[in-house]
């Protein structure tokens, strides 16, 4: 019986044995998990026991940002070999569904997603996963970087939805892990510069270590006034809302140029007020993001090609036996923490 990091119930974690369905099919691979990132959704389940309709009613293994090594493969798997270093796309759709046939497999109503009740996650030494959703890592991409592909994929999805044109200027609301990765994806996708705002100064300092990202501090007026000063009175081409804060929606159209795009990435905890008329009079295009589809290859290529450096965002890495402490630390929400990761195999076997 495998050991795993198990959420027993709200605010109670245990590193213990648990029965998992690890049967491998002909189109699957078995992966030795090696590095797993802690996501905001993992913390939300830990702290609150639910996200919207998804409720932790029984013990659940956490983790969905994973990278590791293929240790076995099914008879029909041809694109991967035993020993390949891989990262994993954690949502499993029905590839024959209408949504999947339209290329929208992330919206397949039957999709299951790691560490989303009642589906177990990957904070366990071995997992079985479809080969079609398992991606080989280039030699110059470490396993730690591979575990960052999942959150980066959200940023790439947002950049794709924005339909960025070369030289665009963007504004990102929220400088958490997703906000910074959205900013980096926007730059890699063609933006000339990205403005970013956040109430935590420490997060702005982290974001500003990247060339092309400039923090805005609304000390001399409203955010919209600061944006207009930074854009010659015109406004930005794209606003990415990544905070999930209801207050972020107040006056959100004021920062956009006429004909700009509003991309909603963060998920508010409850309904928010949005001034539709303010969007209409500028003909603002509104796009929404729910996870990602068909962008994992792009995210990996951006890291491998040096377009996006995720290494500075990995704040600290914990041993597997210290997994509970890692979640306690993540739940503190330290302003200087961006991404915490857990090594699932012994430290001396993990590449740096």
Domain ranges within the chain, ordered by starting residue? 3-148+310-349, 155-288
What mean pLDDT value characterizes the chain?
A: 95
- Rounded Cα–Cα distance for residues 216 and 87 (Å): 34
- Rounded Cα–Cα distance for residues 64 and 41 (Å): 10
* 155-288 CATH fold: Rossmann fold (3.40.50)
Using one digit for the tens of pLDDT, what is the confidence trace for 166-185? 999 999 999 999 999 999 99
- Rounded Cα–Cα distance for residues 175 and 190 (Å): 20
- Given its phi and psi angles, is residue 152 left (phi above 0), alpha (psi -120 to 50 degrees) or beta? alpha
Closest by CA position to 343, among listed 150, 146, 149, 179: 146
pLDDT band at 223 (very low <50, low <70, confident <90, very high): very high
Percentage of residues of the chain with pLDDT beyond 90: 93
Average pLDDT over residues 131-144: 98
- Rounded Cα–Cα distance for residues 49 and 208 (Å): 34
Percentage of residues of the chain with pLDDT beyond 70: 97
pLDDT above 60 (res 351) = no
pLDDT above 80 (res 210) = yes
Could you tell me if 72 and 50 are in contact, meaning their C-beta atoms sit under 8 angstroms apart? no
According to CATH, what is the number of the domain 3-148+310-349? 3.90.180.10
Using one digit for the tens of pLDDT, what is the confidence trace for 276-316? 999 999 999 999 999 999 999 999 999 999 999 999 999 99
Q: Do domains 3-148+310-349 and 155-288 have the same CATH topology?
A: no
């Amino acid at each position: 019986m495998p050991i795993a990091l198990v959420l027993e119930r709200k605010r109670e974690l245990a590193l213990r044995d648990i029965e998992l369905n690890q049967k491998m099919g002909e189109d699957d691979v078995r992966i030795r998990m090696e590095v797993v990132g802690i996501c905001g959704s993992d913390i939300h389940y830990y702290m609150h026991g639910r996200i919207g309709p998804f409720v932790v009613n029984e013990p659940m293994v956490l983790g969905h940002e994973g990278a590791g090594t293929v240790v076995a493969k099914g008879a029909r798997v041809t694109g991967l070999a035993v020993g390949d270093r891989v990262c994993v796309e954690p949502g499993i759709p029905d590839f024959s569904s209408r949504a999947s046939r339209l290329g929208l497999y992330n919206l397949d109503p039957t999709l299951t997603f790691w560490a989303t009740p009642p589906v177990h996650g990957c904070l366990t030494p071995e997992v079985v996963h479809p080969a079609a959703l398992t991606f080989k890592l280039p030699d110059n991409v470490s396993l730690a970087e591979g575990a960052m592909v999942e959150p980066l994929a959200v940023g790439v999805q947002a950049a794709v939805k924005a339909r960025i044109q070369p030289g665009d200027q963007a504004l990102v609301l929220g400088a958490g892990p997703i906000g910074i990765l959205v900013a980096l994806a926007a730059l890699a996708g063609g933006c000339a510069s990205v403005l970013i705002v956040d109430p935590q100064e420490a997060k702005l300092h982290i974001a500003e270590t990247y060339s092309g990202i400039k923090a805005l501090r609304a000390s001399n007026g409203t955010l919209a006034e600061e944006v207009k000063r930074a854009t010659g009175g015109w406004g930005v081409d794209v606003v990415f809302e990544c905070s999930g804060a209801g207050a972020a929606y107040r006056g959100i159209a004021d920062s956009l140029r006429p004909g700009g795009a509003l991309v909603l990435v963060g998920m508010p905890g409850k309904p928010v007020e949005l001034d539709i008329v303010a969007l209409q009079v500028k003909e603002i295009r509104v796009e929404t993001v729910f996870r990602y589809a068909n962008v994992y290859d792009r995210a990996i290529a951006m890291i491998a090609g040096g377009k996006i450096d995720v290494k500075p965002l990995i704040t600290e890495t914990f041993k597997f036996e210290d997994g509970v402490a890692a979640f306690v630390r993540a739940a503190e929400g330290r302003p200087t923490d961006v991404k915490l990761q857990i090594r699932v195999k012994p430290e001396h076997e993990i590449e740096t």
